């Protein structure tokens, strides 16, 4: 029997600090496209991710935005390994 791989779930948010509704939607669209391109190859399956739009999300170049997302995923995994390692040493 084939084992199912849990999906990668992603949420997007942008507060009013980003700008008006048009600006917030643009920020979410940019984040959605970045997630579409980056997450399938780098994100761990079975985890939930929330991408938060900031005012700089609108002005940042798209290649830089992609690199920011890759870096954030890398940092999350590195921190997660440290947390798991600490838990195993203490218990």
Q: CATH number of the domain at 9-90, out of 3.40.50.300, 3.40.50.2300, 3.30.230.10, 3.30.360.10?
A: 3.30.230.10
> Which of 4-8, 14-18, 46-50 has maximum average pLDDT?
14-18
**Does 80 score more than 60 pLDDT?**
no
pLDDT in tens, 49-76: 999 999 999 999 999 999 999 999 988 8
Specify the pTM.
Answer: 0.79
Q: Which residue has better confidence, 67 or 88?
A: 67
Domain boundaries, the chain: 9-90
pLDDT in tens, 11-21: 999 999 999 99
DSSP per-residue string spanning 28-85: HHHHHHHHHHHHHHHSPTT-EEEEEE-THHHHS-HHHHHHHHHHHHHHHHHHHHHHHH
């Amino acid at each position: 029997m084939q084992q199912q791989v849990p999906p990668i779930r992603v949420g997007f948010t942008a507060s009013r600090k980003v700008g008006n509704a048009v600006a917030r939607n643009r920020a979410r669209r940019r984040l959605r496209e970045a997630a579409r391109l980056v997450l399938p190859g780098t994100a761990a399956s079975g985890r939930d991710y929330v991408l938060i739009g900031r005012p700089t999300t609108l002005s940042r170049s798209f290649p830089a935005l992609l690199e920011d997302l890759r870096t954030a995923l890398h940092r999350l995994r590195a921190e997660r390994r440290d947390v798991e390692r600490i838990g195993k040493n203490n218990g």
